[in-house]
Amino acid sequence: MYKRIKYFFTNNLYWKALSVLMAVVLWFVVMNINNPTEIKTFSLNISLLNEDKLEENNIAILNIDELKNQKAEIKIRGTRTTLDEISKKTNKDNIKLTLDLEQFLSYNISDEPLEVSASLKPSMPSILYPNNNFEIVSFYPTTYSVYLDNIITIPKKIHPKTVGETKDGYIAYDPELSSEYIQVTGPKSIVDEIQVIYAEVDITNQTSTIQEKVVPVAYDKDGNEVTDITFNMEDVSIKVPINLQGILSVVEPELVGELPEGYIVNNISYTPKTIEVVGNTDSLKNITKIVLPEIDITGLTESTEYTYDISSILKQYNLRLKNSSNNEVEISIDISQATSKSLSIPTNKISILGYNDEMLIDIPDEVLINVAGEDNLINNINIDDIKISIDIGELNLGTHSVKVDVELPNGIKLLNEPYIDINITNKEQSINEQTEQTSIQPNTQNIEETTTQKEITEEITQTESTTNEGL
């Protein structure tokens, strides 16, 4: 059996293959001669007509993208040869399922989008071919829901926005825009969703002023970008001033002139003591402090306040305040009628600066200082609250008039600068001179010693006598 089957398939193989091929060709010939009728499905997209007329009448289709991407089908019945002809690209591209948008011009659209069900129509290519009998059996979709809205154009404010942080030590100021408003065009329902329009610029690690063009972006209340709108400008110019920041100290103003007799300045206060400024590097290198002008107190008998505007100084150095627009320094001078008093300070309370062990200093027993202040302060002043010192570090041997530095309690003023006379000698030289004097006058010393001993003996005898009498 096996041999018979093998013989059947392997014997006369060439003729058998030729027979199969002829049978297939014959089948195609018979089928083409008969030209049977068939149904074929064509897939396509919906075609839109008169779209420009909608735009001219300020009407928008909100789901236009969905409509354009909608897949459609048309089923066509025809002879095989006709369907084959229709399937050729030049003819197939002319098979359309169209939606004429002009029909929407008659609708009255209010403030809300309008839903309309529109009918679609199929169209077929004109085929110049014998026996081109064909017909449309069905198509899908037959209708489509579209949402119509009015196109509006309104102005919207642009908000400049910076992201990131400048390099340490630098500060970015409010951005400046070339245009504050922009015209927005789009369907009313979409334009109404716009919450804010930003012109955004990145200032990360920047050290100098930024100026560039950016594209505005619209966002809704949830922070999502709003699309399907257009602006009347492609971009706007934005400038972000960036400056170096620093701190300047404000120097206490110097007082000139004299108060009337019996009056003193208790205190000078001013604010601010420091100011934060910004500017370029060169500007900040040229100034480190604000020096306030002198104040003439001649004839003043009561506390007085002054205001000094430092804006001219800042402008001179191309600087400006960092966080405030107040360019004024407030100065207050506390003046009151004074009570004066003279105080004698024992010199054993004097701190001697610059002293060394080789010096021998002859100094007075006390130093006189004159002070003034309010009655209650002067009457309650304590010598222990006063610190006085002299500096002899740079003085040579000999006699000197030395200024006494005095530190007084708050509210008490020194009326004049005290001085004391001191004599500085060399300790070793003084000891040698005393030794020489002792060697020259030995008898005198012995007499003094004898006298002293005699006085002591008499004192002891007198004391014992007194004691006995008491007993």
Q: How far is CA 381 from CA 342, 369, 371, 416, in A?
A: 11, 13, 10, 18
Tokens of 434: 């005393």
* pLDDT at residue 462, as a whole number: 45
* Residue 51 near residue 103, CB atoms below 8 Å: no
At 450 the pLDDT is 34
C-alpha span between 138 and 76 (Å, rounded): 7
**Sequential pLDDT tens for the chain (471 residues):** 666 666 666 666 676 677 777 777 776 666 566 678 889 999 999 999 999 999 899 999 999 999 999 999 999 998 888 888 888 888 898 899 999 999 999 898 988 999 999 999 998 887 665 556 788 999 999 999 999 999 999 999 999 999 999 988 888 888 999 999 999 999 999 999 999 999 999 999 998 889 999 999 999 999 999 999 999 999 999 999 888 888 899 999 999 998 887 788 888 999 999 998 988 877 888 888 999 999 999 999 899 999 999 988 888 888 888 877 788 999 999 888 778 888 888 988 888 898 888 888 888 989 998 888 877 888 888 888 889 999 988 888 899 999 999 998 887 888 888 999 999 888 776 666 655 555 444 433 333 333 344 343 344 344 334 333 332
Structure tokens, 21: 């091929």
Cβ–Cβ < 8 Å for 233, 194: no
Q: How many CB atoms lie within 10 A of CB 371?
A: 23
Q: How far is CA 133 from CA 23, 94, 101, in A?
A: 29, 17, 31
DSSP 142-176: SEEEEEEEEEEEEEEEEEEEEES-PPTTEEE---E
What pLDDT sits at residue 249?
A: 92
Helix H or strand E segment including 372: strand 366-373
> Rounded to an integer, what distance in angstroms lies between the CA atom of residue 427 and that of residue 285?
53
DSSP tag of 292:
P
Place of tokens 């942080």: 165
Using the structure block, give the residue that is written with the tokens 């100065």: 331
C-alpha to C-alpha distance for 405 and 291, rounded to whole angstroms: 26
8 Å CB contact between 398 and 392: no
Pair type for strands 289-291 and 210-214: unpaired
Radius of gyration of the chain, Cα coordinates, nearest whole angstrom: 56
Q: Give CA–CA dist 191/185, Å, rounded.
A: 7
Dist CA 23 CA 63 (whole Å): 55
Going by the DSSP 8-state scheme, the letter that residue 338 receives in this structure is -
Bridge-based pairing state of the strands 181-187 and 398-403? unpaired
Between CA 72 and CA 91 the distance in angstroms is 17
| pLDDT reported for residue 464 | 38
